[in-house]
Amino acid sequence: MRTVKATATSVLGFFVNPPGQHTLNSGLIIPNDDGVTRGIKNRYFEVHDVGHRSGVENDVKAGDIVLVEHGRWSRGFDMGREDGKKLYALDAKDILGVYEGDVNLIE
């Protein structure tokens, strides 16, 4: 994977549960998120790096799973990860909290 550090005021992360069709462990298929009537769900990101003046540098660290306000994000950037996850720039003001449960239970 390519190495990228956050700028002083940014937070970088990987989508844990990107929008799109998902099949749950139970076999249930959740359709695409149209942003209006279906599929709207919490957005979780795995933090890659936190800028030292981002406003959340004392609360969030690399590796944390954070809950982010539902909204729009620019396209992710391909970082050459084997799992294909893309890197996103997050607005620190949109980070609602740090998830402390089992990441495998996030849908």
State residue 33's pLDDT score. Answer: 57
* Predicted pLDDT of residue 98: 96
* pLDDT of 80 over the 70 cut: yes
Residue 105, pLDDT score:
82
| Per-residue pLDDT band at 67 (split at 50, 70, 90) | very high
Residue count (the chain): 107
Read off the tokens for 52. 């030292």
Q: Look-up: residue for tokens 């005021």?
A: 9
Long-range contacts of 25-31 (CB under 8 A, 24+ apart): 30/107
Structure confidence at residue 58 as a pLDDT band (50, 70, 90): very high
> pLDDT tens for residues 1-54?
568 899 999 999 998 877 666 666 777 766 665 555 555 667 899 999 999 999
Q: Residue 102, exposed/middle/buried by CB under 10 A (0-12, 13-18, 19+)? A: exposed
Q: Are 89 and 70 in contact (CB under 8 A)?
A: no
Residue with tokens 């076999």, as numbered in its chain = 27
